[in-house]
Amino acid sequence: MPNMSDKVTNLTEATFDEVVSGSAEPVIVDFWAEWCGPCRMVAPILDEIAEEQDGNVKVTKLNVDEVPAIAQRYGVMSIPTMLIFRDGEVDKRIVGAKGKAQLVEELGL
């Protein structure tokens, strides 16, 4: 995805478990796809959050077209869906595009 912040990590099937369970800080996983309009609206907001919250939270993206097995594992039916992992477990699920203020509030940042 173009213009992605260097603070945002792209996850693959090979890196997902290691990144999510190996992180000391909460991990936001943005489940998205190239064809998803609302996903493109959320992307720059997540980039900003990644920059502003660097060291407090890890922002990651997972393309559901490239890694459908992980989306299925967590029951992701619609995108964008953001799952917040704490200590390797899903702590919160946010479905749909949100504005920055609402997203920050729902993420508890």
89 within some domain: yes
3 within some domain: no
What CATH number is associated with residue 74?
Answer: 3.40.30.10
The label of the residue with tokens 């799952």 reads 83
Q: Residue 65: give the domain boundaries.
A: 8-96
22 within some domain: yes
Catalytic residue among 36, 49, 50, 94: 36
Measured torsion, CA atoms of residues 93, 66, 16, 106, in degrees rounded to the nearest 10: -20
Catalytic residue among 8, 20, 39, 42: 39
3 vs 89: which has the higher pLDDT: 89
What DSSP string describes 32-56? E-TT-HHHHHHHHHHHHHHHHTTTT
How many structural domains does the chain have? 1
103 within some domain: no
Query: Is 94 part of the annotated catalytic residue set?
Result: no
108 within some domain: no
Per DSSP, the three-state class of 59 is: strand
pLDDT one-digit tens code per residue, 37-90: 999 999 999 999 999 999 999 999 999 999 999 999 999 999 999 999 999 999
